[in-house]
Structure 1
Amino acid sequence: MQTFKTGAVQANGIRFQFLEAGQGPLALCLHGFPDSPWSYRYLLPELAQAGYRAVAPFMRGYAPSEVAADGRYDTGTLAADAVALHEALGATGQAVLIAHDWGCAAAYGAAAQAPQRWRRCAFMSVPPLAVFGELALGYAQIKRSFYFWFFQMQLADAILAANDLAFIDELWADWSPGHDARDDLPHAKDCLRDPANLRAVLGYYRSLFDPARFGSHAGMQEQVAAWGRPVPQATLYLHGMNDGCIALDARSAEGVPAWLGPGSEVELVEGVGHFMLVEKPARINQRILQFLGRAA
């Protein structure tokens, strides 16, 4: 197993722990659910070799990063985390932003709210809010997204924790069909074994998909402000054609470029599912590095 330097930094009221490789302009790598920075274990060394300081933080609430004392896990706070991490890590405008799954919600917001901080972006598996919102209300996606609503129940805490977090094994199997996740699941589960961390991470869903607010005018305005504005940077967007979490087809993908900056690229990647970074690392790494270019 690859080893990395580890570190910690205070940002936006949270003590973030992170994995790190290399020196140079910052490449901030944000993970999603149910996942950990270890899904970047193949990409971090490649970024380092290309001249970046690659940093993959454990997102707020994911052990060993802190649980938020104020209980804030809304998308606006996640975007503010990414901006604050850029500041705390002493980065410049040559930084690049890489994100997967929930990390994308933070990254879309951070890229739009603080465009001077990021040179280029690469996002995976969650399209821009407007495209995601259109998909989320269709029958096919509602079936895939059952857990949005299931996680609103307090009973979800106990069910997820049962049998060594076996629920997470099933999500990975559904979302990346055929992928052997034996090297991935232990890292993801280690972030969630403490009930406080599990409750914190479910807070992401309980904030965004609160049935009392989701889809309301006020709720949608909050989401647009947080991560629904166009990203001005040139951005690479990748989505697996076998993704069992969010099914983005060619027609829906046509709507993605309108929300990304000039010079952006969108690709539906054959032969991978949701967790593409660990399914086909050589292929995905090459695509991301090719787009980002060498560090300045």
Structure 2
Amino acid sequence: MPPPQTPAPGTLSLDLPHGLHVEALTWGPDDGPLAVLLHGFPDTAHTWRHLGPALAQDGWRVVAPFLRGYAPSGPAPDGSYHVAALCHDAITLHTALGGDERAVLVGHDWGAITANGVGAAEASPYAAVVSMAVPPVPALVPRGVGDAGLAVQQLLMSWYTLFHQLPALPERVFTRHVTRLWHHWSPGYDPGEDLALLAAALPDRAHRRAAIDYYRAAPRQGRVPYTYAHLADAWLGMPSVPMLHLHGARDGCLSSRFATRLAELAPPTCRVEVVPSAGHFLQLERPNRVGALVREFLAEVS
């Protein structure tokens, strides 16, 4: 059964102090507590077309920006696509949007990596974080010989991260490449609408290079610009604020076994849920279930 029709989003445009132009989708009342929703790769802010209206029903002011490099937002003003830069954007957005101590941060994929990092940063202004599909880094680190099978499995699943290190080629075959990723990462889900939205957000070689540069920047953390240096290591830690992690049981990008490991490692302030019959893009595949879990968590921590 297809998900129910959801309200059309509003739009927001602003320029952050460090030079980044941001465009975002919005739902909910202007005077509600702030919920910032961050998308991942290869995706857009439209990935929140179900969760955004659901949170708005609870009174949240939902803002879902297009990340740096994804149109209609601008490219990175300093050329940086490091995780620290993404964390800085999220923190700066809190101030620019007039967020207060009730604000929450939700992320999927690269947005999840960002949310995890912000939740672990001393400078975090967000009261809680929700991450989807990518748990905090400590849950991804092998802990012994017993993890060898999982490490090999994930190495095979993560072939694309090495492919993205190649110069020019990923951009040249981008459309075919990302179509394959959607089908492999979320088996059985029809990504036609999402791929069309992605094509609009990454319409040319320069935009596609920006999206791929997230991966190229990841192993080059020593080159983080000074502006973001104080956040360079935050994304490697465990969030200290209340956290909900959601993972699709059939995720073809990152094994759901990492979510199980997170449940074993995490502090009591962290809740983990594996969503049955969902792949990597669980917020689109199981919008009602994901929405219910997020709304329940936010009601508990707000």
**Residue 268 in structure 1 maps to residue 274 in structure 2:** yes
- Extract unaligned runs of 5+ from structure 2: 223-228
Any idea what SS the aligned residue of 2:100 has?
coil
Structure 1: which 5+ residue stretches go unaligned? Answer: 214-220
Mapped partners of 1:295, 1:209: distance in 2: 34
Q: Is 1:8 matched up with 2:13?
A: yes
Summarize the alignment of residues 59-208 of structure 1 with structure 2, pairs less than 5 Å apart: 59-114=67-122, 117-134=125-142, 138-161=151-174, 165-208=175-218
Cα gap change, 1:169/1:150 in structure 2, threshold over 3 Å: closer, same or farther? same
TM-score by length of 1: 0.88
1:150, 1:223 → 2: CA distance?
Answer: 27
Q: CA shift at 1:223, angstroms?
A: 8.9
The Cα of 1:158 is off from its aligned counterpart by 4.0
Amino acid at match of 2:164: F
2:295 matched residue in structure 1: 289
Answer whether contact 2:113 2:135 (CA < 8 A) is retained: no
Deviations, residues 100-136 of structure 1 (Å, cap 9, x unaligned): 0000121112122256622222110001112224389
Tell me which residue corresponds to 2:285.
279
In the alignment, the residues of structure 1 paired with residue 219 and residue 122 of structure 2 have an alpha-carbon distance, to the nearest angstrom, of 26
SS at match of 1:256: helix
Distance 1:222-1:167 versus aligned 2 partners, 3 A rule: farther
Contact in 2 for aligned 1:67/1:196 (Cα 8 Å): no
Q: Name the CA shift for 1:254/1:157 in 2 (closer, same or farther; >3 Å).
A: closer
- Which residue is 2:226 aligned to? none
2:281 is aligned with what amino acid? Answer: F
Structure 1 position 49 matched with structure 2 position 57: yes
C-alpha RMSD of matched pairs (Å): 2.5
The residue matched to 2:273 in structure 1 has which SS?
A: strand
Task: Provide Cα deviations, 1:220-255, integer angstroms capped at 9, x if missing partner.
Answer: x99971302221111111111100000122xx4343
8 Å contact from structure 1 (residues 25, 295) kept in 2: no
Q: How many residues align?
A: 283
